[in-house]
Structure 1
């Protein structure tokens, strides 16, 4: 299946230094609003398939609410145990105050 752009949400839907998760094309996607801009990754932690919704976002890092594994929201890179597998990242663009994610 070819990746397609999806109209995910309004920019206002994601608070500063926070995230929302949603299902897009059968994938759970997390959309982050950081001081560096908006980013999108897989919305489930790679450690135990726990939703990142409710996790703490600070300085471009998401901390899983279950076991506190940390990931870079820009690159998806796993930063601390118990998370060792990186998150999938998705292309994202902003058009007319809407967040579009390529999934």
Structure 2
């Protein structure tokens, strides 16, 4: 089932607050897997999963107060915009639009949030 260009990729309960999960590029049709990241306020955001500094998965990072911190070298990215908020990364991560409807997480790959 799809909603416009959206893909139902998870239930909200599949993503623990403060954590993330990766959605395969096979499902999303994107060049990278996409990290679904649930902030501590229960909002859900999506960024390309691979850190722009070195090959590490942002879905395995720490999510808190509007940011995700890469588990490898602690680069920080804004959940809403993908903007770098902490070195060593210098390139922004690509954000994707997400909607949570009735506890279901819908991803709109390639659409800006």
Aligned to 1:87: 93
Deviation at residue 69 of structure 1 after TM alignment? 0.7
Unaligned regions of 5+ residues in structure 1, if any?
none
Measured against aligned partners, the alpha-carbon deviations of 1:73-100 in whole angstroms (never above 9, x if no partner) come to 1110101111110110001111221100
Q: Kindly report the root-mean-square deviation, in angstroms, between the aligned alpha carbons of the 2 structures.
A: 1.6
Would you tell me which structure has more helix in proportion to its own residues?
Answer: 2
TM-score, structure 2 normalization: 0.81
Aligned residues: 101
Query: Is 2:66–2:80's contact at 8 Å kept on the other side of the alignment?
Result: yes
Moved more, 9-18 or 31-40: 31-40
Runs of 4+ in 1 over 4 A off after TM superposition: none
SS at match of 1:53: helix
Task: Give 1:9-28 correspondences, 5 Å limit.
Answer: 9-23=10-24, 24-26=28-30, 27-28=32-33
Aligned to 1:96: 102
Would you tell me which structure has more strand in proportion to its own residues?
Answer: 1
Task: Give 1:1-103 correspondences, 5 Å limit.
Answer: 4-23=5-24, 24-26=28-30, 27-34=32-39, 35=41, 37-103=43-109
